[in-house]
Structure 1
Amino acid sequence: MITFVSYASVDPVVISEELINTAINEQVDPSIAEIARKEGIDPEEVSSIRLDYKNILKINNLWSLKNLTKLQLDNNIIEKIENINFLVNLTWLDLSFNNITVIEGLNELVNLTDLSLFNNRISKIENMDELTKLTVFSIGNNNLDSLENILYLTRFEHLSVLNTAGNKICNDKNYKSYILANLKNLKYLDYRLINQEEVEKSRALYLDDLIALEEEEKIMKSKKEKQEQRKKLEQLFEEAHIKNIDMLFNDMFEQDPDFHKLNILAPEKIQDLNEDYRAKFDIIIIEMKDFILKKHAEVQEEKELITKAIEDAKAETDSKGIKLVNDLEHRKKVFIRSVANMRDVKEIDEAVKAMKFDVDETANQLMALEMTIVEQFEEILREYEKNLQELFNSMLECGQTNMARIREIENNYFERYTECIMSSYDRIHKTDMDSIENEDLRELLSDKEIILNSLNATHDFHLLKFDQQEDGLSSGCNKELEDEIQRTHNEETQRNRKRVIEILTYIERLYYEIEQAEDNIL
């Protein structure tokens, strides 16, 4: 990786590709400068760049530097943090001495450990939630005027160095004690080493507040952990092609407008029906979910096994190929030494002919090894495809069987639900309609057809949800199977082509070396 040094420019500019390329060529390490200018530098090889004192107004066009770990943009006139979210490898970012007013555009920089926003126009610490690895943060000489805003930094467990000097909050008599009390992992504040005795005294001053804050932090931490667990579970469901499976029951009622319309006829009775339905529904869903997740795990195991099987087969064949090549290289060296001392043309011709024959024989052996591994791979891939097909078929069969069971209990529920709605309709319809104050209920009771249509619509909506869930499983499994088989075959084809080219190139080089040895004598 290459580290660059920057030079100042005169006029206010937007970062352009031209500026970046110029900077790369000017700032490259002198020891490789000449080669770099001739051959060019791959921007992806740049890990660190300084663009300070360039009078840069707008950040842009850094997309080619995607492997940057250190970016220095200090002493410019930048007004907005933007167009750097894709630099996910950044660990160090310096935006000091600019005209930035809002902290933003940093959410994707999850590997950032050192951030300097010193000497800007920022009035609030915010929008940094994802920077969980932050250890050094400088925001001195800004417009921070709320000491309580420091509490935002309590989320950064690894924060050990902080600079807030030069802000309005420094005028508060409790400035230092408040920070030391709340940021318990700090080692340096405003360029000074923190004394542990000061920390203990500061924490004693804010003991009650700290206890309440720590309790709140525990609650927030627990909530965050649950959210992360839920996110992982949702991702697992999606990978297993049963996305939203555990929300199916809730969704089919919450998203059904006709159900909500009819619910006012008999809310308590409908609730009892739904609870009974939910109990039966959950049993089937749990069985289906557990089985499919088990088979999904077995699919992942198969993918790991195929990778290992291919690597083992390659390793065995490669070791034989390497031995053949090493032995041939030894014989070639012997040939070159021997032929150098020959003076008889006939003897030289025979030696050259023998060496070329040796090369051809070795080439045939290398090609035979390659054909052997191709055949092995074909057998491995056939077995792999068969195993995957069986696993996905079992997942699809499970989905079909259990969705059929769900449709059956839905039909039973619909019969009871219809009976409940219609009996409630008959009972309420017999009363004095003028005495009903609820306008939605009066409108519903005004036409029996409305109720019948809504009943059919809600049943159809539920069945549609089931169809979508089943279709998602079917299409997902089929696509994953197709993609995986295609991937393995493509990788094997590319590997085979690469190996054949390597063998042919190697043989061609040997022929050239043999002919060169012959020419040198003659």
Structure 2
Amino acid sequence: MLNPCKEREPRVIDNALIAKCIDLQYPKGEVGRLLRLEGIPMEEIQQIRFEYLYILKIDHLWVLKSLVKLSLNNNFIEKIENLESLVHLKELDLSFNKIAKIENLDSLVKLEKITLYENLIEVVENMDQQVKLTVFSIGKNRICNKENLNYFRRFPELTSLNMAGNPCTGDTEDPNNDIRLYVGAFLPTLVYYEYIRISNSEREQAIIIHDEALKLLEKNESKEIEEKAALAKELRDAEIHSKMFVEHLNNGKLFETMYERDVEGKALLDIGEEVTELYEEYKAQILEYSKQVFRIGERHYNSRNQELDLFHKSVWRAKKDNQEESIQYMEKLLGTINEELFPDINNCKMQLEHDAITEDEFEEKIKTIRNTFEDLIHLTWKNLMRLEVTLFEQVEEVNTAFGQGLGEMINTFIEEVQGVFTNIRAAEVTYSETLQDAAIRFMTAANVNPEEEDIPASLTEILIDRDTLNNAMAATHDIHMQVIDSREDVLIHRSRAWLEALITELVDEEIARDRYKLLEINHFLDIQREEFDELATESGTLYTEEYEI
């Protein structure tokens, strides 16, 4: 006998509970009994209900990989979690729980219906990926600000919304605070609010009442859309620039990086106008050299892409021609088998059936037909294998030549880039020497006329004496050189690593294709043998003869 208290104890989801809930979903009677005997694997279950089960935590649902509809209502769940594997989920019911925050739904991009009725949620958030959302219920929560409703403007397919019972939807006779009119104005695609259709007259009245606020929101949204578009473009450009190996070299990023850890270099700028002008000139030089590297990367990237396109088209054409020739050999074999050998076998079987020939004569004729068949199979195998070996050798040769050509292109790219980086290092040496001269003059003047030259606080520890200044200059120069060298090394390493990875990928792909093709050839010929053996069977006895290709 079940213990009622035991049944009401808080629990988590495990295999036993899942099995129990699946069992409850079977229909009653004989149909249910037969379905239980057959069983449904957990990974094939498409919908399940965990209702009124005192569940504390969502867990273990990864075993239900095909789940489309999930109900977890009327439990004690406090957090939305462990749902990321349910990528096919379309309906999710978490109503009547203790959830305080909408979260962890990013991977559930197919969700169409979400129910969070009667929880503890204060903010509508973290649902940007649910672009297919059509029905959303979040009534009886703790949402105080009706501007949370503006969040739903990002869901173009949302047709039904329920917010009833939240603090922000309190009843009022003031039309400016009427939540239904607010929804009608700010959610133009919404059809039903609290399951009641929004009429055209309500919509018109709502737009009149909220006209100014709506225009301001649309203006802000327009600005936000532009910012998002700019950010998306920046990310796309960054991805392309990364493939060029010259990311962030079309702006001042390299120069900024040189000064990120250079405390002494920043302090020396306080010497005055002479150093400031020198700094600005140096900055402009580094930026121009960086852009030179970027342009080199862009030019070589386009050249590499052209070579890649030509290469892929050439290989594709060779594979296509090879495939067409292979098909001709296979069709020729099938034509001979179906139009000549199979009719001959059927004719022999008919003669045997009508006692026109004896069994010995039948076997002799079948043996002759089989020999012809095996000769055809062997000839086809030889032709198909010859084509495949030829193609493999051709592609291997093309891959080698292509790799060598790309290698030369990468080397040329690196040489051109190294030339510019040499200029960058020369500019750094010149700047460092000129800056040191200016600093020495400033320090000397300050020592001679301490009343006229006021040393900034940032320079008091640097301009103590010439040795201290020289050490500071050496430190700033070393930092700049390390940044320059590091950026050059990264560029060279990534370009060569890309080449190596590409060539390895091409070789691996061709080996895999060749192996698959060999299996395909033998599988095709095995099927023909099976069909021949099946047709050559007479009175349940199969006449076969060992044959090796």
TM-score, normalising length from structure 2? 0.81
Equivalent position to 2:475, from 426, 432, 457: 457
Structure number with larger C-alpha Rg: 2
Counterpart residue number, 1:251: 257
Q: Distance in 1 between matches of 2:477 and 2:312?
A: 47
Match for 1:210: what amino acid?
L
Instruction: Write the deviation string for residues 258-294 of structure 1: whole angstroms up to 9, x where unpaired.
Output: 222333333x433322221222222222232123123
Q: Distance in 2 between matches of 1:359 and 1:433?
A: 105
- How far the C-alpha of 1:476 sits from its partner, in A, is 0.8
Query: 1:484 and 1:190, CA in 2 relative to 1: closer, same or farther beyond 3 A?
Result: same
What are the equivalent positions in structure 2 for 1:214-229 lying under 5 Å apart?
A: 214-229=218-233
Instruction: Write the deviation string for residues 91-140 of structure 1: whole angstroms up to 9, x where unpaired.
Output: 55433333211112234545545433223221221233454554443212
Equivalent position to 1:240, from 231, 237, 244: 244
CA contact 1:10–1:54 (8 Å) conserved in 2:
no
CA contact 2:22–2:48 (8 Å) conserved in 1:
no
Counterpart residue number, 2:188: 184
Match for 1:196: what amino acid?
N
Instruction: Write the deviation string for residues 208-263 of structure 1: whole angstroms up to 9, x where unpaired.
Output: 33333333223322222222222222222223222332311122123322222333
Equivalent position to 1:322, from 312, 327, 330: 327
- How far the C-alpha of 1:395 sits from its partner, in A, is 2.5
What are the equivalent positions in structure 2 for 1:432-471 lying under 5 Å apart?
A: 432=450, 439-471=457-489
Q: Distance in 1 between matches of 2:382 and 2:461?
A: 88
Counterpart residue number, 1:340: 349
Percent of aligned positions that are identical: 30
SS in 2 for 1:120: coil
SS in 2 for 1:400: helix
Deviates more, 1:15-24 or 1:340-349: 15-24
What are the equivalent positions in structure 2 for 1:400-415 lying under 5 Å apart?
A: 400-415=418-433
Q: Distance in 2 between matches of 1:127 and 1:63?
A: 22
Match for 2:509: what amino acid?
E
Counterpart residue number, 1:3: none
What are the equivalent positions in structure 2 for 1:115-126 lying under 5 Å apart?
A: 115-126=114-125
Query: 1:69 and 1:311, CA in 2 relative to 1: closer, same or farther beyond 3 A?
Result: farther
Deviates more, 1:159-168 or 1:90-99: 90-99
Counterpart residue number, 1:53: 51
Counterpart residue number, 1:382: 400
Give the paired residue count.
Answer: 509
Q: Distance in 2 between matches of 1:270 and 1:64?
A: 67
SS in 2 for 1:57: strand
Q: Is 1:289 aligned to 2:294, yes or no?
A: yes
Deviates more, 1:484-493 or 1:16-25: 16-25
Q: Is 1:479 aligned to 2:481, yes or no?
A: no
State the superposition RMSD in angstroms.
3.5
Q: Distance in 1 between matches of 2:392 and 2:418?
A: 38
CA contact 2:282–2:427 (8 Å) conserved in 1:
yes
Q: Distance in 1 between matches of 2:308 and 2:186?
A: 48
Q: Distance in 1 between matches of 2:309 and 2:87?
A: 28
- How far the C-alpha of 1:12 sits from its partner, in A, is 4.7
- How far the C-alpha of 1:430 sits from its partner, in A, is 3.5
Counterpart residue number, 1:204: 208
- How far the C-alpha of 1:398 sits from its partner, in A, is 2.6
Q: Distance in 1 between matches of 2:35 and 2:380?
A: 42
CA contact 1:339–1:517 (8 Å) conserved in 2:
no
Q: Distance in 2 between matches of 1:15 and 1:302?
A: 56
Q: Distance in 1 between matches of 2:315 and 2:378?
A: 28
SS in 2 for 1:465: helix
Query: 1:21 and 1:354, CA in 2 relative to 1: closer, same or farther beyond 3 A?
Result: farther
SS in 2 for 1:115: strand
Query: 1:356 and 1:276, CA in 2 relative to 1: closer, same or farther beyond 3 A?
Result: same
SS in 2 for 1:137: strand
Q: Is 1:357 aligned to 2:375, yes or no?
A: yes
CA contact 1:161–1:187 (8 Å) conserved in 2:
yes
Q: Distance in 2 between matches of 1:409 and 1:184?
A: 60
Query: 1:191 and 1:511, CA in 2 relative to 1: closer, same or farther beyond 3 A?
Result: same
- How far the C-alpha of 1:70 sits from its partner, in A, is 5.4
- How far the C-alpha of 1:83 sits from its partner, in A, is 2.4
Q: Is 1:504 aligned to 2:508, yes or no?
A: no
Instruction: Write the deviation string for residues 377-428 of structure 1: whole angstroms up to 9, x where unpaired.
Output: 2233234323422332233223212111211222222222222222222223
Match for 1:288: what amino acid?
V
Counterpart residue number, 1:260: 266
Q: Distance in 2 between matches of 1:158 and 1:376?
A: 53
Q: Distance in 2 between matches of 1:458 and 1:437?
A: 20
Deviates more, 1:434-443 or 1:291-300: 434-443
Query: 1:103 and 1:309, CA in 2 relative to 1: closer, same or farther beyond 3 A?
Result: same
Match for 1:276: what amino acid?
E
Counterpart residue number, 2:438: 420
TM-score, normalising length from structure 1? 0.85
- How far the C-alpha of 1:519 sits from its partner, in A, is 4.8
Q: Distance in 2 between matches of 1:25 and 1:215?
A: 54
- How far the C-alpha of 1:496 sits from its partner, in A, is 0.9
Q: Distance in 2 between matches of 1:427 and 1:111?
A: 73
Equivalent position to 1:14, from 12, 19, 22: 12
SS in 1 for 2:114: strand
Instruction: Write the deviation string for residues 52-71 of structure 1: whole angstroms up to 9, x where unpaired.
Output: 42734322344466676655
SS in 2 for 1:316: helix
Q: Distance in 1 between matches of 2:485 and 2:216?
A: 50
SS in 2 for 1:479: helix
Query: 1:281 and 1:96, CA in 2 relative to 1: closer, same or farther beyond 3 A?
Result: same
Q: Distance in 2 between matches of 1:158 and 1:411?
A: 61
- How far the C-alpha of 1:303 sits from its partner, in A, is 4.0
Match for 2:276: what amino acid?
Q
CA contact 1:12–1:54 (8 Å) conserved in 2:
no
